Chain A
């Protein structure tokens, strides 16, 4: 349940940037390999935002599909797990180009 402390961090980041205005919506960018479960963040969000500028705000989660590049043959391809092999050469030396994001992307304030 590290989503609880991550959601607390989201609230901190938003409050620092909201300039005292009420937050209407928050957009997060979460890679599918970030290790964060969106349902858990949604679950924690209501509890973590109570009594803050974010109380009642809408939570929008943009999922980022992972993409990798093979260090051997340089092929680029969609990845579903860390242990995926390169579909071109079968190698396991895959470098992730995206899919591990855990970012507060945007706020909408009053």
Chain B
């Protein structure tokens, strides 16, 4: 049995085999409303298990003074390029690791590994998001005592990952200017859940009709507290502001004694 979350080896695949016997009570819609049933009040959050595991991850990360970000976006926003650039530029000052979430392939993990940073790929298969259980197991494969920053690249999807707490300090949503400026209104739950928005690929703005001011306004409507950085991972424009924000928080995570 797993000592972290209590899962058994079989629990990673919720596979109800064919060896179950089948009750012959049919699917008569009236059967559920039959009198004589005993009501049990539950009042349990459907995400209770994920939230409990996320709290465990958060406690683990806090104990190691690790700053953790959950990066979310639609596919193709440039998350991996942004990560590569960030990891290379911070390599002299920050000890980082990356968890890569994709439905299939380890292509992104291979790209991250080329930056020299430890990386762990999670393939979700049919799954549309990472959950706290997967992240808890993946995180244990790193030498957490010797890390400052853990970046979790979630599955490219602006819907499902919004609901799943992984134990991160902040969700960071990446939006590229080749997408519509109204994405914050179209996918409000994600922009509401994120603390930071990275508006990426700004080097392409001269070729597009994308209205940056309008996009900012829409993001602020959905989430008045959101911090926005305009960046180009390709040219490096605006990246220093992002690194400034990161550096401040990574230092805030460390115990005061380490900086003395």
A binding-site residues for B, Cβ under 8 Å: 1-2, 4-6, 8-10, 12-14, 17-18, 21-22, 24-25, 28, 33-36, 50-52, 55-58, 81-83, 85, 92-93, 102-110
Q: Which of A2, A4, A35, A106 contacts B40 (CB 8 A)?
A: A106
B47 lies within 8 A of A9 (CB):
yes
A10 lies within 8 A of B41 (CB):
no
Closest to B163 in A: A35
Closest to B25 in A: A56
B binding-site residues for A, Cβ under 8 Å: 14, 16, 20, 22-23, 25-29, 31-34, 36-50, 126-129, 131, 159-160, 162-164, 184-185, 188-189, 191-192, 218, 220-224
A5/B127 contact (C-beta < 8 A), A25-B37, A56-B23, A58-B32 known: yes
B20 lies within 8 A of A51 (CB):
yes
Please name all residues of chain A whose beta carbon is closer than 8 Å to the beta carbon of B160 when the two chains form the complex: 1-2, 35
B46 lies within 8 A of A9 (CB):
yes
A93 lies within 8 A of B224 (CB):
yes
Closest to A59 in B: B32
Closest to B131 in A: A5
B14 lies within 8 A of A102 (CB):
no
A-B contact pairs, 19 of them (CB 8 A): A2-B163, A6-B46, A13-B46, A14-B42, A17-B44, A21-B38, A24-B34, A33-B189, A35-B159, A35-B189, A51-B16, A58-B29, A83-B184, A83-B188, A104-B43, A105-B41, A105-B43, A106-B39, A106-B40
B39 lies within 8 A of A108 (CB):
yes
A6 lies within 8 A of B222 (CB):
no
A2/B218 contact (C-beta < 8 A), A55-B23, A58-B32 known: no
Question: Which interface residue of A22, A24, A55 has the most chain B CB atoms within 10 A?
Answer: A24
State in angstroms the CA–CA spacing of A83 and B226 once bound together: 13
Closest to A25 in B: B32
Contacts between the two chains (Cβ within 8 Å), count = 126
Q: Which of B37, B46, B220 contacts A104 (CB 8 A)?
A: B46
Q: Which of A2, A55, A83 contacts B185 (CB 8 A)?
A: A83
Please name all residues of chain A whose beta carbon is closer than 8 Å to the beta carbon of B48 when the two chains form the complex: 9, 13
State in angstroms the CA–CA spacing of A102 and B159 once bound together: 16
Closest to A6 in B: B46
B189 lies within 8 A of A102 (CB):
no
A92 lies within 8 A of B29 (CB):
no
Please name all residues of chain A whose beta carbon is closer than 8 Å to the beta carbon of B14 when the two chains form the complex: 8
State in angstroms the CA–CA spacing of A79 and B105 once bound together: 41
State in angstroms the CA–CA spacing of A42 and B38 once bound together: 23
Please name all residues of chain A whose beta carbon is closer than 8 Å to the beta carbon of B22 when the two chains form the complex: 51, 55
A83/B41 contact (C-beta < 8 A), A24-B34, A28-B46 known: no
CB distance from B153 to the nearest CB of A (A): 18
B37 lies within 8 A of A108 (CB):
yes
State in angstroms the CA–CA spacing of A57 and B26 once bound together: 10
Closest to B218 in A: A83
Question: Which interface residue of B16, B42, B50, B162 has the most chain A CB atoms within 10 A?
Answer: B42
Known: A4-B126, A13-B42; 6 extra A-B contacts, CB below 8 A, are A17-B44, A58-B32, A82-B191, A82-B192, A83-B185, A104-B43
Nearest 8 CB-CB pairings of A with B: A58-B32, A51-B20, A2-B160, A82-B188, A108-B37, A25-B32, A83-B221, A24-B37
Closest to A84 in B: B221
